[in-house]
Every structure is written in structure tokens, then in C-alpha cells.
Amino acid sequence: MTYPAGAATVTSIEAIDSHTGGEPTRTVISGFPDLGEGTLKQRRDRFAREHDALRRAIACEPRGSDVVVGALLVPPDDARAVTGVIFFNNVGPLWMCGHGAIGVIRSLQFLGRIEPGQHWLDTPAGLVGARLHEDGRVSIDNVPSYRHARDVSVTLMDERVVQGDVAWGGNWFFITPETPIPLEPNHWRDLTAYAEDIRRALEEAGIRGADGLEIDHIEINTASPTPGMDARNFVLCPGLAYDRSPCGTGTSAKLACLAADGTLAAGAVWRQESLIGSVFEGTWRPGEDGSILPTITGSAFVTAQSRLVLDPTDPFVCGFSG
Ligand code: PYC
């Protein structure tokens, strides 16, 4: 077995694993080839074009899983940032990742590279503020978020019509409160199939975000039965794993819809619960041109400090996705 292009010279990669509300982040701190010159968006493109085999080696089975979000640390475009980050998962790069940003900040603290205080991360979606609190919580000041389209209808395979909003929170989301399946952890398989059906229907109907970008995250967001929670969500990610955390970019997109509807005031706290019961707190400030500036607060914990070994004789050295 020879390495596919892009993995040829790599035999080991250093990473810090963490989880944010149950959702894993694998922060790649060394061993990845230099992505060269260019903006973070250009380097994200190069990452997708030239290093897909390495992405799979890090994020997919047998070293990773469909749930793992990778976070490749790269030099930032903006000198204020402690690092640039390219997030990726089992199918490709992301634009931003809220739970991942919280995981990266805690991993940098674990490495002794930062202390509690104000920091910045540079991402392909834009500069993101990150306040590391003394108690370990992290508040992410996310990129400007907005509702792109309201009450969009899609027809599912069984002719059911589902209505929802299309919104940007650092990734593209279709957000609906409608679900025939209760948002309970034991229903994750049925919820996955339902959300996948919505995603297919959006694609078939040609419904996309701004600039024709694919709506690759589906969020079902309903009232929560848990006292003190404003809502519970189920977010299907692009690689068809569901987010164990309440999804930072998904919560940002939801806040943008609440702000547009006038149902959540600027500065008010929104407590967003995930399917497994983890919680993010979200607030928003007004941004420009009708957008909002969301702040998402959550906690992450380091779970491993690893050296990933890439053995060229391993037939699955660059991973596979089920
Ligand atoms: O927290 O933004 C997020 C996220 C996106 C995909 C998985 N988690």
C-alpha cells in the first residue's frame, strides 16, 4: 500500500483530543504539511484539494469516527489571533465550528500556550473572539450571523411538508421546530433519518444559502422538557453524524432567527440543550446590515494527548468512512 497523494511524507501527527458537551474535537498541533501562502479561505481550499487523505486519516475510522471534528492549527491571517484554525470532519472542511473553537481554546490552555483572558481565533468564516474564564468555561464571540430565508417549505419522501428557516451561524442551517419524532436520545437513529430526508429534499429543491452554498446542517429545535432550558435541539452534521453538543454555529443561527422574529431581546440569555443534555448559553448583540453578533458559552475537557501513527503498510492508513 502506498500513501495517497498528500500523505506521502507524514508518519506521525500530534493532537490533543477534547470534548465539548460530549462532541469531540481533535486539535492537530504538529505533523501536518504546511498549507503555504494565502488567506485562510485559500488554505482551506488547498486543505480540501491536496490533503484529503490526511483529513480522513485524522478524522475517520479507524483512528477517528464520524463524530470527530478536527481542528488544524495554522498561522492566522489576522495578527490579533493566537492561531488560525481549519475545522474539518469525516467528509470535508467546515467554515467554523463552535464546539470545536471551545475545544481548541481549552487545548491551548492545556498546552500552556494561553491563560484565562481574551483571545482570538482566525477561521475561514472570519475572526472569532474567545474568552477563557477562570473556571474553564469559554465564551465564543462568533462571526456575524443572520436569517437568510424565513418559512421555507420542503416536501419529504412521504409527501410530508416541513417548514423552516435558512440561517447562517458560521455554517449553513435549515432550522425547523417540526418533528414527528421526540427529541430523546433513544430516537437518534429515526431523527437522523428524518433530518437526512430534509437535507435531501432541500438539495433536490435547489434551496441553498447565500452565494449558492450548500445547506449542510439540519437543526430540529423544539421546546425542552428540562426545567430552565429554552430549547432542545438535534443537529445533523454534513457527514450524517448528529452533534452531541448543542452546536455553537447552530445555536448562533437559531439566535439570528429569534432576533429576526423579535422573540429574544439583545443581551437576554438563551439556554440551548443538546439531545444528550449538554448546554450552551447564547446571547446576541446587534451587528451590521441586520446581522447579529452571537456569543456562545460552553465547557470543554481534554481527553487525550496523542501521537497518531501513520504506518504505510496499513491498508487503512488513510481511514475510511462508513
Ligand atoms: O458546534 O458549531 C458547532 C458544530 C458544527 C458541527 C459540529 N459542531
Torsion of CA 116, 122, 127, 131, to 10 degrees: -10
CA separation, residue 3 to residues 45, 90, 93, 310 (Å): 21, 18, 21, 9
Rounded to the nearest angstrom, the distance between the alpha carbon of 47 and the centre of ligand 1 is 19
**Which string of DSSP letters, residue by residue, matches 60-120?**
SBTTS-TT-EEEEEE--SSTT-SEEEEEE-SSSB-S--HHHHHHHHHHHHHTTS--SEEEE
**Cell numbers found for residue 181:** 419524532
pLDDT, tens digit (0-9, with 9 covering 90-100), for 23-35: 999 999 999 999 9
Q: 3 pLDDT exceeds 70?
A: no
Average pLDDT over residues 272-279: 98
d(CA 80, CA 307): 29
Q: CB of 274 within 8 A of CB of 282?
A: no
pLDDT of residue 320: 83
Q: 6 pLDDT exceeds 60?
A: no
Q: 140 pLDDT exceeds 50?
A: yes
Residues 6+ apart with CB under 8 A from 86: 35, 40, 43, 44, 47, 71, 72, 74, 93, 123, 124
Ligand 1 mutation pick, 68, 237, 280, max ligand atoms within 8 A of CB: 237
User: Is 21's C-beta closer than 6 angstroms to any atom of ligand 1?
Assistant: no
Q: 64 pLDDT exceeds 60?
A: yes
Rounded to the nearest angstrom, the distance between the alpha carbon of 39 and the centre of ligand 1 is 22
Ligand 1 mutation pick, 68, 145, 249, 275, max ligand atoms within 8 A of CB: 249
pLDDT, tens digit (0-9, with 9 covering 90-100), for 234-256: 999 999 999 999 999 999 999 99
CA separation, residue 179 to residues 154, 165, 176 (Å): 13, 14, 8
In the block, cell 435547489 appears at 206
Concerning whether 318 is annotated as a catalytic residue, the answer is no
User: Is 248's C-beta closer than 6 angstroms to any atom of ligand 1?
Assistant: yes
Q: 125 pLDDT exceeds 50?
A: yes
Which element (helix H / strand E) includes 151? strand 146-155
Q: 1 pLDDT exceeds 50?
A: no
Ligand 1, atom 8, residue with closest C-alpha: 247
User: Is 251's C-beta closer than 6 angstroms to any atom of ligand 1?
Assistant: no
Average pLDDT over residues 307-315: 94
User: Is 298's C-beta closer than 6 angstroms to any atom of ligand 1?
Assistant: no
For residue 280, give the 3-state DSSP assignment. Answer: strand
d(CA 228, CA 193): 29
Rounded to the nearest angstrom, the distance between the alpha carbon of 163 and the centre of ligand 1 is 22
Average pLDDT over residues 102-111: 98
User: Is 246's C-beta closer than 6 angstroms to any atom of ligand 1?
Assistant: no
Q: Which residue in 60, 97, 257, 318 is the catalytic one?
A: 97
Rounded to the nearest angstrom, the distance between the alpha carbon of 89 and the centre of ligand 1 is 10
User: Is 20's C-beta closer than 6 angstroms to any atom of ligand 1?
Assistant: no
Ligand 1 mutation pick, 235, 251, 252, max ligand atoms within 8 A of CB: 235
d(CA 176, CA 197): 13
Q: Interhelix angle for 40-50 vs 52-59, to 10°?
A: 80
pLDDT of residue 321: 72
Average pLDDT over residues 298-317: 96
Average pLDDT over residues 102-107: 98
Rounded to the nearest angstrom, the distance between the alpha carbon of 60 and the centre of ligand 1 is 17
Range from 201-205, 247-251, 298-302, 315-319 carrying the lowest mean pLDDT:
315-319
**Percent of residues, the chain, with pLDDT higher than 90:** 95
Average pLDDT, the chain: 96
d(CA 231, CA 236): 16
Concerning whether 60 is annotated as a catalytic residue, the answer is no
pLDDT of residue 89: 97
Longest dimension (CA), the chain: 58
Q: Which of 255, 247, 249 is nearest to 287 (CA)?
A: 255
pLDDT, tens digit (0-9, with 9 covering 90-100), for 145-163: 999 999 999 999 999 999 9
Rounded to the nearest angstrom, the distance between the alpha carbon of 262 and the centre of ligand 1 is 25
Q: Which residue in 60, 237, 247, 257 is the catalytic one?
A: 247
